[in-house]
Amino acid sequence: MAMSKLDSSEVCLTLPADDKKLRELVDFLKSDMEKHNVLPKKQFNMISAAEEVFVNISNYAYDGTGHVEVTSFVQEATYYVRFADEGKQYNPLEHEDPDITLELKDRPIGGLGIFLAKKLSDKISYAYENGKNMLTIGVDL
């Protein structure tokens, strides 16, 4: 785990893309959100969404090992977390949301994690820059 401070509110944590590192991600986010006075309900939403994103990157971005850069920052009354990975280019926001009205047995596998991230966050965006997938989620302060 490597952590660095980028500007007055920006902090970056680099983790192996391994869902065994989920606890480190959650601890990092909890501590950082406390510093920025993020409300408890918004903290819950951010952590839940971040867990889904991190697990998806861990399970699907790389054919082998890789890393995830997790950067938090505050901008215009929103607390953001950006996930950057050098895995396969993939924009999860381009895919249709799963039909949650179907019976569980009738639903295709996949898509529920990003669906939850979208529902739990106030803002979400994707970019592919310099060989990196960058998914950013935000909760309003």
The CATH number covering residue 73 comes to 3.30.565.10
Question: Which of the four pLDDT bands, split at 50, 70 and 90, describes residue 114?
Answer: confident
Phi then psi for 20, rounded to 5 degrees? -70, -15
% of the chain at pLDDT higher than 90:
73
Under 8 Å between Cβ of 52 and 113: yes
- How far apart CA 13 and CA 72 sit, in angstroms, is 9
Report whether pLDDT(113) > 90.
Answer: no
Half-sphere exposure of 67 (CA within 13 A, CB side): 10
State pLDDT tens for residues 27-37. Answer: 999 999 999 99
State the total domains in the chain.
1
Beta-carbon contacts of residue 33 (< 8 Å; ≥ 6 apart): 42, 43, 46, 72, 79
Share of the chain above pLDDT 70, in %: 82
Rounded Cα distance, 20 and 71, in Å: 19
pLDDT score for 54:
96
Instruction: Report CA-CA distances (Å) from 17 to 4, 42, 43, 72.
Output: 18, 25, 22, 17
Domain that holds residue 34: 2-140
- pLDDT tens digits, residue range 38-66? 999 999 999 999 999 999 999 999 998 99
pLDDT of residue 108 exceeding 80: no
User: Which residues have C-beta within 8 Å of that of residue 9, sequence separation ≥ 6?
Assistant: 36, 72, 73, 74, 75
pLDDT value for 93: 85
According to DSSP, residue 125 is labeled E
pTM of the model: 0.85
Q: Average per-residue pLDDT in the chain?
A: 88
